[in-house]
Structure 1
Amino acid sequence: MPSQDSASLSGEAASAAASRTSHAKKYLAALGPGFLFAGAAIGTSHVVQSTRAGAEYGTGLLGFILLAVLLKYPSFFFGPFYVSVTGKSLVEGYRQTFGRSVVALFALVQIPVTAIIIAAIAITTAGLAGSLVSLTLSPPTVAVILIALCGVLTFAGGYKLLDWVNKVFVVILSVTTLFATIAAVPLVDWSFYPATAVSPLLSVTTFVTLVAVLGLMPSDITLAIMNSLWSEARNKTQGRRSDTTAEKIDFNIGYIGAAVLAACFVIMGAGVMHSQGITPADGAVGFASQVISLYTSTLGEWSGVVVGISAFTVMLTTLLTVLDGFPRMISASWYTFIRPADETETSRNLEGSPAFLVSLIGLSLLAVVILYTLMGNFRLFMDFVMVVAFLISPILAALNHFTANGPTVPPALRPSKLINAWSWLAIATLTLLSLGYIAVRFVL
C-alpha cells in the first residue's frame, strides 16, 4: 500500500505537470499578433529592399540591417508590452499620455504614409503575379484588383481569418527561403564590404541607400501600434488578457523570424545576383521575376512555380494584413479622438465598425490614386516609401517610449532600465541618421 508521503509526492508531480501543461496552452493561445507582425514585415522590406541590397552591395549592408533590427527592438516591443500591462492599445495610450491632439496629429500623418505603403505592397504583389502568369493588364491595374479583393476579405473575415491565413503562408515561405539561402551560401563573397559593391562604404550614395533600406527594416515602427491593436483584438476574442511573458514570447517569435528572413534575402541577393553581376530590374514584374530566379538558381527549376506561388501568397497575406491593420489603427484613432475628455475608454469592436469601413475604403482609394500617379519608376517609388518611413521613425519611437513609461503604467510594471536605455539609444540613433539624411539630401 503506498505510503502517505509517496501519495503526496505523486499528487505534487501531477499538479506540477498540469501546471506546465496549463502554461504551455496559455502561451500557445497567445500566439497570433507576433505572426501577424512577421506577415506584415515580410513584404517590400524583405522581398524588394533586402534582395536589392544583396544584389548591389553583396553582404556589405547585412551587418547594418541586422544592427537596425536589433536597435529598433524596444520601439516595436512596447506595443504588445503596453497591452499586457494595461489591456489597452498604444492608440489609447497616446490619448492618456499626451492628449487627443497627439492622437489626431498621429492619424493625419499616418493616412498618406499608410496609403503609400499599401500601394507599394500591392504593386509588389502584382509584380509577383505577373511573373507567374502572363497578364494583359498593367501592374497598377492588377494591384487595384488585389486591393479590392483583399479589402473585401479583410472586412468580411476579421482577425480570425487574418490570423489563420497568415500563419499558413508565412511558415511555407519561411521554410523554402531557408533552404534556398543554405544553397546560396557557397556562392557568397563574405567580405565585410566587397570591392564590387556599387559604391564605396563612405559615400553619399551608400548612406542614402542605407537609409532607404533601413526605413522598413524589419518594418515601419507603425507596426508596433498595429501589433498592440491585434493583441487587443486577440484578447477580446479569447475573453482574457495575455500576460507580459506570453506577449513577449509571441512577439519575439515574429520579430526574430522577420530578422532571419531579412538576412536570408540579403544572402540570396548576394549569392545569386551580386556574384553574377545581375542588376536589379526597375520594373515591378521584372524585379519579381528576378526574385523567383533566386530560388530556381539555388533549388532547381522545379522550385520556380512552388516558390513563386508561395511568395505571391505571402505578399497577398501582407496586403491583407496591412488592409486590416492600417484601417484598424485609423479607426481606433478616430474613436479615441472623438471620445469626450470626461469619459473612460470603452471596449469597442473595431471590426465591421463604420469608422473601420470608411478607413478601409478611404486608404484603398488613396492607394489607387498613388498607383496611377507616382508609379513611373518602381525603384524610385520604393526608395521614397522607405525614406518616409525612416524619417518619422524617431518620432514614433519616442511616442512609444514615453507611453510605455507614462502615468498609465504602474511604476512596478514599467520596462526595465536595460530596455529603456536600449530604447533611448534607438531614439538618438534614428534621430541622428534622419538629420544626417536631410542634411545630405537638402542642405549640403
Structure 2
Amino acid sequence: MENVATSPIKNSNRIKDLINSFGPGIMMATAAVGGSHLVSSTKAGAIYGWQLAVVILLVNLFKYPFFRAGIQYTMGTGKSLVEGYSLMGRGYLWVYTGLTIVASIVSTAALLMFSASLLSYFSPFEVSITVNAGIILAICLAILFAGQYRALDTISKVIMITLVIATVCAVIVAFGNGAVAPADYQSPTIWDIASIGFIVIMMGWMPGPIEVSSITSMWLKNQRTQKNVTEQEALFDFNVGYIGTALLAVVFLALGALVLNGSGQELAKSGIGFSHQLVSLYASTIGEWSRYLIAVIAFFCIFGSTITVIDGYARVLSEAQLLLQKKSLDQPKYHNNWMGVIGVAGMVVLLFFTAQLITMLNFAMILAFITTPIFAVLNYRLIVSANLKGRLALTPRMKALSWIGLVYLFGFLAVFIWWKWIM
C-alpha cells in the first residue's frame, strides 16, 4: 500500500525535477529564435508561402545530431566541446577560435542593431540606433556581470514562454481569418536559381549556427557545477528546446504565409522599418490593441538572443584562449573580459552599418552556413572518438542521420559555391 500511495508523489517530483533541469536547451532556443525565426522564417513565408516548410524541417532534422553532440559529449566525458577540439589538436582549436571570433562579433552587432531598432518603437522622441544599441549592451553586460548564469537561465525561460504563446495565438487568429493572397496569386518558386541565395541565408541560422552546440555544451558544463543533472534530464532539456525551436520556425513561416504572402507589401530593408513591420504583422492579425504588447514581446525576444549570444560566445572563447595558453580553465575574469570585447567589437561594427540591418543579418547567416559543415564534421568525430555508452551512445540510427546530414550540408555548400562564384 505504501508504494502505491507514494508512487504519484514520486512521479510528481520526477516531473518537477525535469522542469527544473531546463536550462541549456531553452537558452539555446532563445539564442536561435532572434534572427532565424523573426527574420528568416517570417520572410520565407512572406515570399514563398508554404514552399519552404519542408526545407525548414529538413535542415533542423539534419543538423540535430551535431547540435545534440554538445550534450552527449559533455555528459559523457565531463568536458566541453571546446576541450574536445583541443584534444583533437591545436590546429582544430585555432580554426574554431578564429571562426567563432568572427561569428560572435557579427552576430552580436546584428542582434544589437535589431534590438535597438525595436527599442526605438517605444521612444517618445527620436534617438539614434547606436545610442539605443549602447543602452542595450550596457544592460546586457550589467545583468551578465551581476547574475551571470542564474539570471540568464531565468530570463530565457520567461522570454520563450511569452514568445511562444503570442506567436501561436497570432497564427491561430490568422488561420481563422484566412490567407490575404488573392485566389489566383502565384508565389515565386523555390526551384528558381535566384532562390538559392535566400535558402542558403535561411539555412545558415536554422535553428542556429552549429557552433552554438559548443555554447550549449559550456552552459551544460556550468549547470553541472551548480546541481546534479542526469543524462535523461540533459537530453530532455535539449530535445524540448531543439524540437520546440524547429516547430516555432514553421509557426513563424505560417504567420508570414498567411498575412504577408500575396498582400502586395514589400518587406522593409531598414532596421527601424523592418522591426515596425514585424510588430504591425502581429497587430493586424491579433488586433490593434496588441500592438505595444507585441512590440514588447518582440523586443525581449531579440534582447534574449542578444544576451545569450554575448554570454555564450564569451564562454567558449575564454575557454579556447585558456586552452591555447595552457592555463587553468576556472578563471571567470577571462569570461568577463571576452563579454566586454565581444560587446565593444559588436558596437564598433554597428557604427559602420547602422542602416544595413538586413544586410548584416544576411552576412552572419551566410557565414554560419559556410562554416556549418566544418563544425558538423568536428562534432561527429568527437562523438565517435569518445565511445559513449548508454543513452549517450551513438546509435546506428543516429550515425546514419549524421552521414545523411553531412551529405546534405556539404551538398548545399557546393551548390552555393557554384551559384555564388562559378555560375
TM-score in same-fold range (> 0.5): yes
Q: Which deviations, in whole Å up to 9, do the C-alpha atoms of 1:406-437 show, x marking residues without a partner?
A: 14646995311111111111111111111211
The answer (yes or no) to whether the contact 2:42–2:253 under 8 Å persists in 1 is yes
Distance in 1 between residues matched to 2:18 and 2:76, nearest whole Å: 16
Distance in 1 between residues matched to 2:215 and 2:124, nearest whole Å: 35
Q: Residue type matched to 1:243 in 2?
A: T
Distance in 2 between residues matched to 1:294 and 1:387, nearest whole Å: 26
Partner of 2:346: 367
- The verdict on how the C-alpha distance between 1:184 and 1:405 changes in structure 2, with shifts beyond 3 A counting, is same
Partner of 1:211: 200
Distance in 1 between residues matched to 2:360 and 2:330, nearest whole Å: 35
Among 252, 256, 260, which residue is 1:269 paired with? 256
Where do residues 43-442 of structure 1 align in structure 2 (5 Å cutoff)? 43-96=34-87, 98-185=88-175, 186-188=177-179, 196-197=186-187, 199-238=188-227, 240=228, 242-339=229-326, 348-349=329-330, 353-407=332-386, 409=388, 413-442=392-421
Distance in 2 between residues matched to 1:50 and 1:61, nearest whole Å: 9
Distance in 2 between residues matched to 1:410 and 1:32, nearest whole Å: 23
Mind listing any 5+ residue stretches in structure 2 that lack a counterpart? none
The answer (yes or no) to whether the contact 2:48–2:189 under 8 Å persists in 1 is no
Q: Which deviations, in whole Å up to 9, do the C-alpha atoms of 1:206-263 show, x marking residues without a partner?
A: 111100111101111111111111111111111x2x2322111101111122112211
The answer (yes or no) to whether the contact 1:55–1:278 under 8 Å persists in 2 is no
Structure 1 position 148, deviation (Å): 2.5
Partner of 1:37: 28
How many percent of aligned residue pairs carry the same amino acid? 29
TM-score normalised by structure 2 residue count:
0.93
Tell me the C-alpha RMSD between the 2 structures: 2.2
- The verdict on how the C-alpha distance between 1:413 and 1:386 changes in structure 2, with shifts beyond 3 A counting, is closer
Q: Residue type matched to 2:266 in 1?
A: T
Q: Residue type matched to 2:174 in 1?
A: A
Structure 1 position 439, deviation (Å): 1.3
The answer (yes or no) to whether the contact 1:187–1:275 under 8 Å persists in 2 is no
- The verdict on how the C-alpha distance between 1:206 and 1:135 changes in structure 2, with shifts beyond 3 A counting, is farther
- Structure 2 SS opposite 1:405: helix
Distance in 2 between residues matched to 1:376 and 1:234, nearest whole Å: 39
Q: Which deviations, in whole Å up to 9, do the C-alpha atoms of 1:349-376 show, x marking residues without a partner?
A: 46xx221122112111221121122444
Distance in 2 between residues matched to 1:37 and 1:15, nearest whole Å: 35
Distance in 1 between residues matched to 2:407 and 2:310, nearest whole Å: 31
Structure 1 position 196, deviation (Å): 3.1
Mind listing any 5+ residue stretches in structure 1 that lack a counterpart? 1-9, 341-345
- The verdict on how the C-alpha distance between 1:132 and 1:269 changes in structure 2, with shifts beyond 3 A counting, is farther
TM-score normalised by structure 1 residue count:
0.89
Aligned residues: 421
Larger Rg: 1
* 4+ residue runs over 6 A deviation: none
Distance in 1 between residues matched to 2:252 and 2:2, nearest whole Å: 51
The answer (yes or no) to whether the contact 1:147–1:364 under 8 Å persists in 2 is yes
Structure 1 position 134, deviation (Å): 4.2
Q: Residue type matched to 1:354 in 2?
A: K
The answer (yes or no) to whether the contact 1:55–1:273 under 8 Å persists in 2 is yes
Distance in 2 between residues matched to 1:334 and 1:195, nearest whole Å: 54
- The verdict on how the C-alpha distance between 1:418 and 1:16 changes in structure 2, with shifts beyond 3 A counting, is same
Distance in 2 between residues matched to 1:196 and 1:153, nearest whole Å: 48
